[in-house]
Structure 1
Amino acid sequence: MKILVIGQGGREHAIAWKLAKSKRAEAIFVAPGNGGTSHEEKCVNIDIDVLDFEAIKQFILDHSVSLVVVGPEDPLVQGIKDYLIGCDVMVFGPDSVAAQLEGSKIYSKEFMFENNIPTGEAKFFSEARLAKEYLDKINFPIVLKADGLAAGKGVLVTENRQEALDWIDDVMENSKFGDAGQKILIEECLYGTELSFMGIMTPDCFIPFETSIDYKPLLDGNKGPNTGGMGCMSPSPFMNDELKSYIVKEVVNPTIDGLRKRGINYYGFMYFGLMVKDNKPKVLEYNCRLGDPETQCLMMQMESDFLEILLSCLEDKKPNIEWNTGASMGVVIASGGYPNAYQKGEKITLGDVGDCKLFHAGTQSLNNELVTSGGRVFSLNYQSKTIDDCKKYIYEKISSVDFSNCIHRTDIGDIYES
């Protein structure tokens, strides 16, 4: 079977790497891939942009691709699955209507309210004037969100009214995020411990993956600005049976029922972003994809054949996923300056990382040299019996990966409760 993985980050490297281990996988094409995906067994990079749907369709037809696995959210929200209808190819990922659960914060919030799914209170605005007037009626801190996709930067948590006013001007009046900021939400600020609950959703069920947590802040001690994620560990120390049961009953099942009521047949990954307080969750957001860097940890933990799992779900068969009983951990190595401005094109030197798995994210091959091409450049991962074992081994090997002004946290694996 020939498979096309769409995307170019560390998540897509991990997905392609895991799919390639299946006996049924003949070839894994990665569009566009990165400097690491092309070196994996059975994997070939294809120079096609994730939003070039016509080129993707033609490649599928020319190379007899049987399965497309979509990594990032943008192609899903813009309708890659809809576009490929009639191509005689299976697509793992929701259609554009279902993907609005991630693509529109207002759509997802209305969906939660309609289906009595626990979440924070929120008001929606399409006029800056009305949004500013509302600030005088509420207590701070608050959360402001752009309605559409804004590359993970469309959220502000603030205790300061002037900061909120400036954000509204930037987003709604000055189009900081383009069309994504034409409408905004002003939300209740939730407190607790942030938790990721990921898995596969079909029209009839949700198959949970092993639990995981990521480390959003840039600096040790969970300090500094938020990022896409500076590390991950699995399983999560914050999950317990009572909490998992509550999530399934109060969040997962109502989501499945709500989609069914809207006539949406959802086949794809689902990532519930949760805030947990007193062992009770509230939904922060839906993501119609897997998290990054959580995916890298999860693919290390998974013992089952990933390709067989995806195919079973597309055939409405509930797979039994086996997980390693130990732990896995990953540390992100990033470009200095990230998550703000950073240099690209820095030459990378790779030494011996031992038994670690080095997943590439922001790398590319240029003139036969491996160079940086993004903010998050690598995730160095290891699987062992305990998190402490993982932490010790990764930090012994991490200096083997080097480029100018590279940065990483030194405390991934430590537990921080909000």
Structure 2
Amino acid sequence: MKILILGNGGREHAIGKKILKDNPFVRLYFYPGNGGTNLIGINIGNYINDYSMLELALFSKKNNIDLTIVGSEVFLMKKIVDIFHSYGLRIIGPNYLSARLEGDRGFSKFFMKKYGIRTPNYEIFHCYDDAINYLDKKKFPLVIKTNGIASGKGVLLTNNKKEAKKAIREIMIEKKFGKSGEKIIIENFLQGEEASIITIFNGKYITPFISSKDYKKIGENEIGLNTGGMGAISPHPHMNNLIWMDFKKNILDPTYEGLISEKLIFFGFIYFGLMITCEKVYLLEYNTRMGDPETQTLLPLMKNNFLNIITSFDKIDMFWEQLYSCCIVLSSKGYPKKYEIGKIISGINSLKEPFYISGAKKQEEKWVTTSGRVINIIGLGNTINESIKIAYKNAKKIKFDNLYFRKDIGS
């Protein structure tokens, strides 16, 4: 069986490793991939020079690819699933209309409101002046979001009017996030614990994975700029039975109802970004793919054959190791802004599995950095504290100039 995985991060390396662990005879291709994926499959980035969805479809057709898995959201809003379907190719991910649940926050919020899905109060703005004037009516803190995807960085927490005005100007006037900021959402801030639930939707059933917690900020104690994710733990210590029941009743079930009613039918992933308050759970956002670094944290705990999960149209029973998982993201200092690449990495050969390459490649037999997020280190333990301890012990084996990672993941 030939499988193509789309993306270039640790998530895609983790998906590939899990598939090979369960199915050793599968042949993997990656676009564009990274140094890690190149060790377990074939990176086809050398043959396709840009993100042409049509070229990827033609490559898949010519090379008899049996299944394509969309890792990164970048591909979804370029209608890759629709293009693959038009060529009769099998692909895991939502069509363009369904992908708007992630790629168009205005559409997503309308969907939540229509189907009674609990979410923070919000307003949507197309006009800069209207957004600025709205601030006079609100109490702070406020959350300001780009309408479109922004690599996980388009969500800004503002503590006062000055910060909010600056955020709105950066998004709408200075175009910091490009077309993603042509429209913004201003949302009430909720105090609580963020949680992530990844699910698989096969068009008939939505099946949740176990919970996880993502650490999005670059700085310890969740301060500083948003990133693609600096670490994660699983299962989430605050997702007790009552919270799970609340999530199912007020978020998961009405989401399913809305998908069926709106004919948003696809085979792929739905990620629920949640906020657990002292009273109830709220939906902050949908993603229509697996999270990063949540995927790297979850897959080492999964007992199921991952390939069976993403190809079965039946109701799935999920099985998990009775362990805890902690992921530490090793990054280049300066990320998510400016950072240097090409730094020689030492210690990779001494790492114990599981670990995943996210931004590194082999160059003349040496590993060098190629991106802001470089390596994902996973610790597995019988307690959450044990998993954290193991992850940090492994992380200290890696050395390169300008190495940075948060010291408080899981605490």
Deviation string 1:273-318 (CA, Å, 9 cap, x unpaired) is 0111124111110011111111111110011110011111xxx212
- 1:107-126, aligned counterparts within 5 Å? 107-126=107-126
2:371 aligned with 1:392, yes or no? Answer: no
Give the counterpart letter for 1:271 in structure 2.
Y
Query: In 1, are the aligned partners of 2:329 and 2:376 still within 8 Å (CA)?
Result: yes
Report the Cα offset of residue 155 of structure 1. Answer: 2.1
Question: Structure 1: which 5+ runs fail to align?
Answer: none
CA RMSD of aligned residues (A): 1.8
Report what 2:329 is aligned to. Answer: 332
Report what 1:94 is aligned to. Answer: 94
Give the counterpart letter for 2:43 in structure 1.
N
Report what 1:318 is aligned to. Answer: 315
Report the Cα offset of residue 350 of structure 1. Answer: 2.4
Return the alpha-carbon distance in structure 2 between the equivalents of residues 49 and 184 of structure 1: 33
Report the Cα offset of residue 221 of structure 1. Answer: 3.6
1:110–1:50 distance in 2 versus 1, CA, 3 Å: farther
Query: In 1, are the aligned partners of 2:156 and 2:226 still within 8 Å (CA)?
Result: no
1:295–1:126 distance in 2 versus 1, CA, 3 Å: same
Report what 1:363 is aligned to. Answer: 360
Report what 1:409 is aligned to. Answer: 406
Return the alpha-carbon distance in structure 1 between the equivalents of residues 287 and 107 of structure 2: 13
Identical-pair percentage = 38
Report the Cα offset of residue 359 of structure 1. Answer: 0.3
Return the alpha-carbon distance in structure 1 between the equivalents of residues 97 and 49 of structure 2: 22
Report the Cα offset of residue 351 of structure 1. Answer: 4.7
Return the alpha-carbon distance in structure 2 between the equivalents of residues 284 and 61 of structure 1: 38
Report the Cα offset of residue 324 of structure 1. Answer: 0.5
Give the structure-2-normalised TM-score.
Answer: 0.95
1:377–1:49 distance in 2 versus 1, CA, 3 Å: farther
Question: Structure 2: which 5+ runs fail to align?
Answer: none
Return the alpha-carbon distance in structure 2 between the equivalents of residues 99 and 183 of structure 1: 18
Query: In 1, are the aligned partners of 2:53 and 2:78 still within 8 Å (CA)?
Result: no
The DSSP-based 3-state class of the residue aligned with 1:136 is helix
The DSSP-based 3-state class of the residue aligned with 2:12 is helix
Report what 2:162 is aligned to. Answer: 162
Report what 1:231 is aligned to. Answer: 231
2:18 aligned with 1:18, yes or no? Answer: yes
Query: In 2, are the aligned partners of 1:328 and 1:384 still within 8 Å (CA)?
Result: yes
Report what 1:241 is aligned to. Answer: 241
Return the alpha-carbon distance in structure 2 between the equivalents of residues 310 and 50 of structure 1: 27
Give the counterpart letter for 1:46 in structure 2.
I
Query: In 2, are the aligned partners of 1:232 and 1:294 still within 8 Å (CA)?
Result: yes
Give the counterpart letter for 1:60 in structure 2.
S
Return the alpha-carbon distance in structure 1 between the equivalents of residues 222 and 172 of structure 2: 30
Return the alpha-carbon distance in structure 1 between the equivalents of residues 50 and 311 of structure 2: 22
Return the alpha-carbon distance in structure 2 between the equivalents of residues 354 and 129 of structure 1: 53
Report the Cα offset of residue 198 of structure 1. Answer: 1.1
Query: In 2, are the aligned partners of 1:204 and 1:256 still within 8 Å (CA)?
Result: no
1:24–1:358 distance in 2 versus 1, CA, 3 Å: closer
Give the counterpart letter for 2:211 in structure 1.
T
21, 25, 42: which one aligns with 1:44:
42
Report the Cα offset of residue 17 of structure 1. Answer: 0.7
1:129–1:87 distance in 2 versus 1, CA, 3 Å: same
Aligned positions, number: 409
Return the alpha-carbon distance in structure 1 between the equivalents of residues 159 and 72 of structure 2: 32
Give the counterpart letter for 1:45 in structure 2.
N
Query: In 1, are the aligned partners of 2:380 and 2:390 still within 8 Å (CA)?
Result: no
Return the alpha-carbon distance in structure 2 between the equivalents of residues 173 and 218 of structure 1: 25
Give the counterpart letter for 1:84 in structure 2.
F
1:302–1:351 distance in 2 versus 1, CA, 3 Å: same
